[in-house]
């Protein structure tokens, strides 16, 4: 199965900036409270696993601070309206060890990982375009390191299109996302 993923690269970061700009990030801090993940799920359309954080997990940054660090280069620092945020552990397997290309990744039991149980904020929003053919086409995720604000990974189904801003009727929480068994 081919994974629908965003790897940290110049093109992906440029797309992230376009997405962030398209959802109207103009106001100062939102005071967003990140609820902890309560159930382990696989992000639909990927192999990324989003799991509950340990009870004693303490992020160095708030969800607002992590987003501000991530988006500061674009001059926009507030979490977009209609975005849900959770604190959890992200695991993102790349696949079997791939030699030199995987040397900078964590490899365990022959599998290389972009992230393995890394404390992160998961930002989720739902945005569909006219050419969306399934619910999966509407789901968007960014996972930012909860201590540095750096992009770990994300799932953006339409990197080559501009996303419309989420509206109150379009926004959904991660718990509204279909589970892999529902697809």
Residues 113-159 pLDDT 10s: 999 999 999 998 877 777 767 777 777 888 999 999 999 998 766 44
pTM given for the model: 0.67
pLDDT tens-digit readout, 65-107: 999 999 887 777 788 888 899 999 999 998 888 877 778 889 8
Distance, C-alpha 80 to centroid of its chain: 13
User: Residues near 115 by Cβ (< 8 Å), separated by ≥ 6?
Assistant: 90, 91, 92, 143, 152, 153
Residue spans per domain, the chain:
10-161
């Amino acid at each position: 199965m081919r994974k629908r993923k965003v790897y940290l690269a110049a093109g992906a970061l440029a797309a992230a900036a376009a997405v962030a700009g398209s959802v109207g990030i103009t106001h100062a801090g939102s005071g967003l409270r990140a609820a902890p993940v309560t159930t382990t799920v696989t992000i639909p359309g990927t192999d990324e696993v989003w799991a509950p954080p340990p009870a004693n997990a303490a992020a160095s940054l708030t969800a607002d601070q992590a987003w501000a660090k991530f988006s500061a280069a674009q001059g926009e620092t507030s979490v977009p309206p209609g975005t849900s945020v959770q604190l959890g552990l992200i695991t993102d397997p790349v696949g079997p060890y791939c030699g030199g290309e995987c040397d900078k990744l964590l490899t365990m039991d022959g599998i290389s990982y972009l992230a393995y149980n890394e404390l992160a904020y998961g930002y989720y929003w739902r945005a569909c375009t006219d050419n969306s053919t399934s619910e999966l086409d509407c789901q968007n995720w960014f996972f930012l390191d909860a201590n540095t604000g750096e992009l770990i990974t994300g799932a953006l189904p339409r990197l080559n299109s501009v996303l419309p801003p989420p509206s109150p009727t379009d926004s959904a929480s991660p718990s509204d996302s279909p589970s892999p068994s529902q697809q």
